[in-house]
Amino acid sequence: MVNDKPETVLELRHLRTEFGSREYPLVAVDDISFEVNAGEILGLVGESGSGKSITLRSILGIVRPRGRVAGEILWKGRDLAALDEAALRKVRGREIAMIFQEPMSSLNPLLTVGLQISENLVAHTGLDAKARRARATELLDMVGIPGARDRLGDYPHEFSGGMRQRVMIAIALASNPQLLLADEPTTALDVTIQDQILRLIQSLSRDLGMAVILVTHDMGVVAQTCDRVAVMYGGRLCEVGTTSQVIADARHPYALGLLRSIPRDVAPRTPLYSIPGAPPALNALPPGCAFSARCPVAGPECLDLRPPFETVGQFHKVACHHRFEALAHFNQQEAAQ
């Protein structure tokens, strides 16, 4: 925040991804706009089914051919949404890499770890076999796999869950990407391992100057890891801001509810708050605000009128018609406890 304008590497403008037939499309993600700055970690938060993963997959274009992507995905000034497969392949893995939620199923069980790293290098670098081997060892070493040199010939099933996630990160980082898309990389892991992987991602981001979009449903992970946060609900964005802004000063009723559902400084045995209702199905979204059906402060217009994004502070934006009522409502609740 020293410079008023940090360098932006990725900018999404009105991203929309739909599936199914053109006549009755299933809109998974709609009107998503945010930017990612060089070297920062952006958290993308929301319940399962809120469109976080689809957003990441849309950036790389791997939702195609079944999904249709509209809007602009500006990567260093170039619109990825307009590129064809061949051109996108040069960006995937080389400039933007991705890691997935399930380390068990995301590595090809039939291929050695060494090959899965080196195929990345074959696609994006001119290294010869010997140099690829050296680079692969270096990568495994970097992500903290002991005895890296001897493990290149091993298969994924010979690694533990946490080690597999490290291997996946090593594969993703093979060609020095400037942006890492991490799709719930710690959800499938034990709590202690989770912490190690998050620290690893953090330190890699810092050391390599690599930006990260970290998808998660865990506000604790966000608080611990991210510089900025974007909150998604029902395929739409509801609040964007720095981590401290969103955690300490959330304005959107969904973000407020999400934060209330994690225990902080409460007496033992206080019942946890949970947002009433269930996330909406993608084919049953109202034309207005996606959260209106579960919102404690929704008014009649919320159902039909989509709330615009309004700036509430430096870097802090919220999409809600009733953000003052929301704040009042949740403050009251808190006081009542």
Partner 1 sequence: MPSISYLLARLLQIIPTFLLVMVFIFLLVRMLPGDPAIAMAEAKATDAQVEQIRHNLGLDRPLPVQFVIFVKNTVTGDLGRSIMLKAPVTEVILDRLPTTIFLALYSVVLAVFLAGPLAFLAAVRVNSATDVVIRSVFQIGLSMPVFYIGLVLLTVLAAQLRWFPVGGYGTGFLDNLHHLILPALSVALYTSAIILRNLRASLIEVLDADYVQFARSKGLSTRIIMTRHVLRNALVSTVTLLGLSIGNLMSGTLVTETVFAIPGVGRLMLEAIFARDYPLIQGLTLTFAVLVSVVFLLTDIVQSLLDPRLRKA
Site residues (CB under 8 A) for partner 1? 57, 60, 62, 85, 88-94, 97-102, 105-111, 119-120, 123-124, 155, 157, 168, 171-172, 181
Name the minimum Å distance from CB 293 to partner 1. Answer: 31
Instruction: Determine phi and psi for 239, rounding to 5 degrees.
Output: -155, 135
Element (H, E) at 138: helix 129-142
Name the minimum Å distance from CB 173 to partner 1. Answer: 11
By three-state DSSP, how is residue 183 classified?
Answer: strand
Smaller CB distance to partner 1: residue 113 or 259?
113
Smaller CB distance to partner 1: residue 119 or 195?
119
Tokens 């029902």, located at residue: 234
Name the minimum Å distance from CB 181 to partner 1. Answer: 8
Name the minimum Å distance from CB 185 to partner 1. Answer: 12
CA distance 295 to 277: 9
Smaller CB distance to partner 1: residue 181 or 295?
181
Smaller CB distance to partner 1: residue 39 or 177?
177
Smaller CB distance to partner 1: residue 11 or 102?
102
Smaller CB distance to partner 1: residue 212 or 259?
212
Q: Are 216 and 43 in contact (CB under 8 A)?
A: yes
Q: Are 209 and 39 in contact (CB under 8 A)?
A: yes
Q: Are 302 and 289 in contact (CB under 8 A)?
A: yes
Name the minimum Å distance from CB 48 to partner 1. Answer: 16
Name the minimum Å distance from CB 328 to partner 1. Answer: 44
Closest to 238 (Cα-Cα) out of 180, 298, 187, 300: 298
Name the minimum Å distance from CB 115 to partner 1. Answer: 9
Pull the structure tokens for residue 328.
């009042």
Q: Are 27 and 285 in contact (CB under 8 A)?
A: yes
Q: How many CA atoms lie within 13 A of 269 on its CB side?
A: 0
Name the minimum Å distance from CB 110 to partner 1. Answer: 6
Smaller CB distance to partner 1: residue 85 or 150?
85
Written as one string, the DSSP assignment of 278-303 is: -PPPGGG--SS-TTGGG-TT--GGGG
Smaller CB distance to partner 1: residue 27 or 188?
188
DSSP 322: T
Name the minimum Å distance from CB 108 to partner 1. Answer: 4
Element (H, E) at 10: strand 8-19
**H-type alpha helices, 173-288:** 191-208, 219-225, 243-248, 253-260
CA distance 173 to 193: 20
Q: Are 159 and 77 in contact (CB under 8 A)?
A: no
CA distance 152 to 129: 13
Smaller CB distance to partner 1: residue 110 or 272?
110
